[in-house]
Amino acid sequence: MKALYILALLFGVVSCDKPKSAPKQPDPTLSAELKASDTPILPIKKGDYWKYKVRVEIPAGVTSEGASAVDVDHQKTRTFIGKVTAGKGLPEVDAFDVVSAGQPIERELVEIHEDRVLMRGSTRPETADAKPMWIDPPIPFVIAGMRPGQEMANFSVKGSDRKRGMKVVAREKIKVPAGEFPVIRLLMTGNDGKFEIRRTTWFAPRIGIIKEVKARYASDKLLFRETVELFETNVK
Amino acid sequence: MKSICLHILIAALMTGYAFPDTGDGFKFGKRPANSIFDPSEVLTLKQQKEISEPLKVILENEGIDIVVVILPEIGEAPPMHVANGFAAKWSTGPAHAVVLHVSDHSGTPWIKLGGAVTTTIKPEVISEYITAARKRAAAEPNDYEKIRAATTEAADALRYWLGGAILRSESLITERLRQQMAHEKRKRLLKLSAILGAAAAIPILFGLVVLIIRLRNRGSKVFPGTRKIARLGAPYSGGGNAVS
């Protein structure tokens, strides 16, 4: 009888040990949701284009002493040309040709992955002896799911005194002539030798660059500011 | 030394207008609705709107509060002291800034950052950023551009640092949850092993109990009682009748 009592007690202990509520799992982070909504980050095909309104401001006295201020508008078109090689011995990368009136074509070299765009450099394809500016290893320009407060790599370009640092400042909405877009606001600061640079880029995942403001300073003076705004694109 | 103190005192008295008292004597009244205090109308209404509208959106969406103060002069008063006075009276929220612009003062504009978020950043990082930002804003060609650039710089810095603080706190929470889950997992494993141990002990205990019961019931078989009837053995094995 005693034995039965012991057994009953043991079974009672086992059956009364109900599992307590498990600790809460961390919620899927906002980053993960953003990453999913940002991916693919730039689903584009050869021939896709982005047309921009460009405003260039040069304060008085910058180009020469007594020179008046310059404030001009023009257009710029960025076209995706697919994969190209920037030079002998360099791998094939994705490229955009940027055409502005009166300027030689500038070819922007990047690597477009599913969830990120990496900077690879630039070159001038029409200038025969132009050496490409090649960034190795590539530098992240934009990554799906990026959030304010994240800092991208600080980097310097080999063989030059160019330094850059990039930060994610905000995720916000921006209105430009092409419409309103949810964007990632990126701030790049750095220098090209004695020139200080401040560049803000508004990048819309799945669409591309929506707006850019580039400013250059030297000797405590603004040298020029270029404001670029998207007014037409076939990317949707 | 006395003369230096006297000079400072005279300067402070002479700049009574521009030396806002951070106590009850603050003489600039209530904060303007558009967050731009411009009594001498350095900016046009259109320019004020161009600066204040993005600031309003940032305040509504992210709680970052930026006030622009434009004064005609501040005498000998230290600009950051003036900015501090306005920040103490008008600024709110966990991340805020005062952009102070004094038209004819060299080095204008000044940026005073404040709020809880700035306490999470190393002072030297803030100082380095502010120095570079002020330099860029001061390089702009006119009052409007200087103020616009300084507000953008202040907003960018606060948005970046506030975002960083949120990311850090989230990663801390995630790490704490991860540790809590690992602890709970260990506890569950210990409990499970205790239950399994107990379950394994059940048949052993059962066997022991059965053994004990059997042993207890065997008592008289082990020790048989004493014979009460005499039994004759050899050489009388023919049985009792053989004798009689």
Q: How far are the Cα atoms of A60, A62, A225 from residue A221, in angstroms, in the given order?
A: 11, 8, 11
Average pLDDT over residues A82-111: 92
pTM: 0.76
Q: How far apart, in whole angstroms, are the C-alpha atoms of residue A31 and residue A34?
A: 5
C-beta atoms of B195 and A167 within 8 A: no
Question: Which residues on chain A place their C-beta less than 8 Å from a C-beta of chain B?
Answer: 2-3, 6-7, 10, 13-14, 17, 19, 22-26, 29, 59-60, 69, 147-150, 167-170, 172, 187, 189, 196, 198, 200, 215, 217, 220-222
Q: How confident is the model at residue A134 (pLDDT cuts 50, 70, 90)?
A: confident
The radius of gyration of chain B from alpha carbons, rounded to an integer in Å, stands at: 45
Rounded Cα distance between B176 and B192, Å, is 24
User: What was the pLDDT predicted at B235?
Assistant: 65
Nearest 5°: CA angle at A119, between A178 and A198?
A: 65
At A4 the pLDDT is: 43
Do you find a cis peptide bond into B235, omega within 30 degrees of 0?
A: yes
How many angstroms away from the CA of B239 is the closest CA of chain A? 49
Q: Copy the structure tokens of residue A106.
A: 């500038």
> What is the DSSP secondary-structure string of B126-145?
HHHHHHHHHHHHHTSSSHHH
Supply angle C-alpha A187, A189, A192, rounded to 5: 145
Distance CA B179, CA B186 (A): 11
- pLDDT exceeds 60 at position B192: yes
d(CA B144, CA B43) in angstroms, rounded, equals 7
pLDDT at A15 over 90: no
**What are the domain boundaries of chain B?**
2-165
Q: Contact at 8 Å (CB) between A140 and A41?
A: no
Find which of B160, B168, B178 to mutate to test the A interface (most A CBs within 10 Å of its CB): B160
Rounded-to-integer distance, Cα B165 and Cα B120, Å = 7
Closest-CA residue to B162 (of B90, B230, B97, B69): B97
Measured in residues, chain A has a length of: 236
Q: Tell me if A166 sits within 8 A of A186, measured CB to CB.
A: yes
Nearest to B159 among A2, A59, A148 (CB): A148
If you measure CA to CA, which chain A residue comes closest to B155? A169
Q: Are B175 and B137 in contact (CB under 8 A)?
A: no
pLDDT in tens, B108-121: 999 999 998 888 88
* Residue linked to tokens 């002291």: B81
Domain ranges in chain A are 48-233
Cβ neighbours of A58 in B, within 8 Å: none
Average pLDDT, chain A: 84
Q: Which residues pair with A57 in a beta bridge?
A: A71, A225
| Mean pLDDT of all residues in A175-204 | 94
Inform me whether the pLDDT recorded for B19 exceeds 70: no
Q: Within 13 Å of residue B1, how many CA atoms lie on the same side as its CB? A: 0
When pLDDT is averaged across residues A118-147 and rounded to a whole number, the result is 88
CA B70, CA B53: separation in Å to the nearest integer?
Answer: 17
Q: Which pair of tokens denotes residue A127?
A: 């200038």
B130 versus A164: which is more confidently predicted? B130
Residues of chain B found within 8 Å of residue A200, distances taken between Cβ atoms: 156
B22-31, B172-181, B187-196, B215-224 — which is least confidently predicted?
B215-224
Region B161-171: what's the mean pLDDT? Answer: 87
pLDDT category, B166, cuts 50, 70, 90?
A: confident
Kindly state the percentage of chain A with pLDDT values over 90.
57
Size of interface A-B (CB pairs under 8 A): 90
Kindly indicate the confidence band of residue A225, based on its pLDDT and cuts at 50, 70 and 90: very high
Q: Mean per-residue pLDDT for B192-206?
A: 92
Q: Choose the mutation target among B159, B181, B211 for the interface with A, i.e. most A CBs under 10 Å.
A: B159
**pLDDT one-digit tens code per residue, A24-54:** 443 445 678 889 999 999 999 999 999 999 9
pLDDT, position A127 = 81
Q: What pLDDT does residue B95 have?
A: 94
ipTM at complex level: 0.80
Residue A176: CB atoms within 10 Å: 18
Of the candidates A2, A14, A217, the beta carbon closest to that of B198 is on A14
Higher pLDDT, B216 or B124: B124
Query: CA nearest A21 in B: which residue?
Result: B184
Beta strands at B64-71 and A195-204: parallel, antiparallel or unpaired: unpaired
pLDDT one-digit tens code per residue, B57-75: 999 999 999 999 999 988 8
Looking at the DSSP bridge assignments, the partners of residue A233 are A50
Percent of chain B whose pLDDT exceeds 90: 60
What chain A residue is nearest to B121 in terms of C-alpha separation?
A: A149
In 3D space, the residue among A156, A158, A161, A225 whose CA is nearest the CA of residue A194 turns out to be A161
CB A60 within 8 A of CB A69: yes
| Residue B239's pLDDT band (cuts 50, 70, 90) | low
CB-based contact B177 A24, cutoff 8 Å: yes
DSSP string, A120-146: EEEE-TTSTTPPPEEEEEEEEEEETT-
DSSP letter string, B76-120? TS-HHHHHHHHHHHH--SSEEEEEEEETTSTT--EEEEESHHHHT
Residues in chain A with CB shorter than 8 Å from the CB of B139 are 217, 220-222
Q: What is the mean pLDDT of residues A198-219?
A: 95
Architecture of domain B2-165: Roll (3.10)
Note the pLDDT of residue A36: 92
pLDDT of residue B219: 58
pLDDT band, residue A116 (cuts 50/70/90): very high
Of A221, A124, A23, the C-alpha closest to B188 is A23
Instruction: Kindly list the distances between the CA atom of residue A137 and the CA atoms of A119, A158, A193, in Å, as whole numbers in the listed order.
Output: 9, 10, 21
Nearest to B51 by CA among B177, B167, B154: B154
Eight-class DSSP state of A151: B
Distance of alpha carbon B90 from alpha carbon B82, whole angstroms: 12
The H or E element spanning position A30 is helix A30-38
| pLDDT band per the 50, 70, 90 thresholds, residue B18 | very low
Note whether A217 contacts B163, CB cutoff 8 Å: no
User: Considering only CB atoms, which chain A residues are within 8 Å of B188?
Assistant: 19
A3 against A119, higher pLDDT: A119
Section A136-154 average pLDDT: 88
The answer, yes or no, to whether residue A118 has pLDDT greater than 90, is: yes
Chain A residues within an 8 Å CB radius of B184: 22-23
Q: Does residue A192 have a pLDDT over 50?
A: yes
Mean pLDDT of chain B, nearest integer: 83
